[in-house]
Structure 1
């Protein structure tokens, strides 16, 4: 069983990260409404959609530099201080997006203001999610690192569920009140308020014990943490990029872009598409603790191999039945839920495994480097790329990046056994072997 203090830390850390994830992705769920009010009405809907997704991508594109800078201070001044700062940095721009004037009111200043606030969101989330993963992983015991990883990521992904639910609820409120702008304003305003509340609650967190130990013993990295990451841990970074390709591709294709695809290409009613996505996200989130616990029992390699097989089978079936189910107005929740459970098998492992790749004194910078660059390349541009390719080649295009993610997962499963890990059971075995050798 998880200790009370460990569970409390996990809960408070995950709560803040969940709200940050909600604040960051809600933009995509109300993209259709945003495209109508922040750009000139005399251009085609497709061009407005592309412009909206381009601003969405800005949040990801600023993440590499911003996230690495935030992680640098996380390694220098402490995990907790940055934790509180980052959630405030996310909450304020989110709230301001909810009260922005539209193109009809202020012209070109509207999309410019939206772009600036989206960039600030990217700065915050670039440091927040790596910070939460490192913080929780450093508090977890070696035998429960996978469980802590899966639980954290499951709770964090409830931010996607909250985003989908908030978009659906705001749409209903807007329709009943006869105020269309509430459909996109309410989710941002509520997210900003809850984010500030989470920042207040984080004051009660204690500093990571592993970080406090190296800080007290003056073992903080004397060189710039990022320099150490790049020169001494290049192999870990490459492995981290692989993890990020899988996580970003699967999350974006199935649980962020897919509602827009269903609405625009299959003619599925907006509410129906959002409801199906909610069930898929729910299945994704609630199954992650199970997969994380399984990895504690069978090891990272077997867990990744199991996930690769599960994702491949679910992905092929998902795209095989999607068109028929949508055309027949069938229950889309079932394929989304099956896909959610399969994707969870892999991405539940990312926080703990990524944190384990790097030693404590550079862990946050090590995590942030592949995480944020991978997010920018593989998640930020994916909706824009898919919108372009689907227009020219049809709605089956998203199948191919999903299959590629399955192949990369299989490669990671084969490679992880040879990686040097600094957290979890493998690190304990290495430490024990060194101690025995020294004693001899």
Structure 2
């Protein structure tokens, strides 16, 4: 066997490992967002009645939605804890752990007894499982992103990272479709009695497929080199904060931008268009699915473009687009027409996908390998809390203060975009002279 044959075999093996890694990571991303948004939808629809029954339905609904917020709040904790071990013992073990934790907890939620069956223990168990779910999801993204990006071939880190990001809109589409199917085929009584359990139990299928794919994935070459050189640090998250504070803040601001737009569209606009403007809630839900489709189409295209012009430039273009679109978006929604609504959220979906696509690759380039899992998880998950957990609440508060007008919401979105844009221009890659274009793995630095 000559050297060229051996080299070809090694190259094929690396390519297969990269494909396995991106497939396993993407299925995890799909499960993550499916689980998270199924919970949010069910919390809004039935959890108040099932787990928090009171004499005032609005109070029951508020208590149920607070558990959704708790899941957001737990995500940075998951990023810190799981990121620590991901930098200490490896990407693959933690990727398996977070996937099992998230999937099993979701199935357990579907098996929970209700308040009518076991009383106060029911909501307490729900809160406990929701926090566990948030912790698992908080650690899932960093591992999935790194598994894909650190395995990626030269000059394709953006594309591979974007495929993991594309799991988000797929999860949203699946969760929305499953819930829409249930609400269309079941009566309200059936949905409350047993139908609400089905989407949670169905996630077991994704769990089984994902575990099969993830079990076959090898550890990333980047972490293998860390272990060989014994370069792990004792407290990765502290080292990340100490050495890369600007990169963490920039990651927070960038991810805040797309989650602010995405959650304002999917949560605030849902209530505003149906409740204030009087549009058909089904039409608004379909518009959200359409936004997820435009997001899905845009994400890999923008990721591939980032491999050509740099992820930092792609993100910057997206932030300019967000600032320019903030006012026209609500002007179109204000027309109270189906076409205006679909155009508004459809373009919004493109912007979310554009901003989201390169974050796995760009954020990984901010940190050296021994603190990368911790640093990028911390920035990403805090951004999720600010944009996703508080974005819709801020939008509602601003609209209420303005007497029902949405211009303060648009102004807020512009502010988020401008601050993130400035931080993106100032940030420096924390690892390697060409860290934005490559992750400086052995193959990519040649």
Q: Is the 8 A contact 2:86 2:143 kept in 1?
A: yes
Structure 2 CA distance for partners of 1:302 and 1:20, relative to 1, 3 Å:
closer
Q: Is the 8 A contact 2:262 2:349 kept in 1?
A: no
Q: Is the 8 A contact 1:241 1:370 kept in 2?
A: yes
> Which residue matches 2:380?
371
Tell me the distance in 1 between the aligned counterparts of 2:57 and 2:320.
42
Task: Specify the SS of the correspondent of 1:60.
Answer: helix
Q: Which moved more, 1:19-28 or 1:391-400?
A: 391-400
> Which residue matches 1:438?
none
Q: Is the 8 A contact 1:261 1:395 kept in 2?
A: no
Tell me the distance in 1 between the aligned counterparts of 2:202 and 2:164.
22
> 1:50: Cα distance to partner?
2.6
Asked if residue 112 in structure 1 is aligned to residue 121 in structure 2, the reply is no
Q: How does 1:233-252 map to 2 (within 5 A)?
A: 233-252=244-263
> Which residue matches 1:341?
350
CA shift digits 1:277-333 (9 cap, x unpaired): 0010111122111111112222234322321232233332221111223xx455633
Tell me the distance in 2 between the aligned counterparts of 1:5 and 1:92.
27
Tell me the distance in 2 between the aligned counterparts of 1:94 and 1:427.
34
Give the CA RMSD over aligned residues.
2.8
CA shift digits 1:87-139 (9 cap, x unpaired): 11111221122232333444433322221111010110010011111111111
> Which residue matches 2:45?
32
> 1:53: Cα distance to partner?
2.3
> Which residue matches 2:82?
70
Q: Is the 8 A contact 1:173 1:183 kept in 2?
A: no
Q: Is the 8 A contact 2:83 2:237 kept in 1?
A: no
> Which residue matches 1:175?
187
> 1:389: Cα distance to partner?
5.1
> 1:150: Cα distance to partner?
1.9
> Which residue matches 1:145?
157
Q: How does 1:113-262 map to 2 (within 5 A)?
A: 113-175=125-187, 178-221=190-233, 223-262=234-273
Q: How does 1:41-120 map to 2 (within 5 A)?
A: 41-45=54-58, 47-120=59-132
Structure 2 CA distance for partners of 1:371 and 1:304, relative to 1, 3 Å:
closer
Q: Which moved more, 1:25-34 or 1:398-407?
A: 398-407
Structure 2 CA distance for partners of 1:320 and 1:71, relative to 1, 3 Å:
same
Q: Is the 8 A contact 1:314 1:342 kept in 2?
A: no
Task: Specify the SS of the correspondent of 2:318.
Answer: helix
> Which residue matches 1:381?
390
> 1:84: Cα distance to partner?
0.9
Tell me the distance in 2 between the aligned counterparts of 1:333 and 1:128.
32
Report how many aligned residue pairs link the two structures: 428
Tell me the distance in 2 between the aligned counterparts of 1:7 and 1:288.
18
> Which residue matches 1:361?
370
Q: Is the 8 A contact 1:87 1:196 kept in 2?
A: no
> 1:181: Cα distance to partner?
4.1
Asked if residue 419 in structure 1 is aligned to residue 429 in structure 2, the reply is yes
Q: Which moved more, 1:293-302 or 1:163-172?
A: 293-302
Task: Specify the SS of the correspondent of 1:67.
Answer: helix
Tell me the distance in 2 between the aligned counterparts of 1:196 and 1:409.
38
Q: Is the 8 A contact 2:183 2:191 kept in 1?
A: no
Asked if residue 351 in structure 1 is aligned to residue 363 in structure 2, the reply is no
Structure 2 CA distance for partners of 1:66 and 1:304, relative to 1, 3 Å:
closer
> 1:246: Cα distance to partner?
1.4
Tell me the distance in 2 between the aligned counterparts of 1:140 and 1:344.
20
Q: Which moved more, 1:128-137 or 1:329-338?
A: 329-338
Task: Specify the SS of the correspondent of 1:219.
Answer: coil
Tell me the distance in 2 between the aligned counterparts of 1:36 and 1:403.
38
Q: Is the 8 A contact 2:49 2:57 kept in 1?
A: no
Q: Which moved more, 1:337-346 or 1:170-179?
A: 170-179
> 1:381: Cα distance to partner?
3.2
Q: Is the 8 A contact 1:173 1:182 kept in 2?
A: no
> Which residue matches 1:322?
333
> Which residue matches 2:3?
none
> 1:205: Cα distance to partner?
0.9
Tell me the distance in 1 between the aligned counterparts of 2:109 and 2:281.
22
In structure 2, the gaps of 5 or more residues are 1-13
Structure 2 CA distance for partners of 1:155 and 1:63, relative to 1, 3 Å:
closer
Task: Specify the SS of the correspondent of 1:268.
Answer: coil
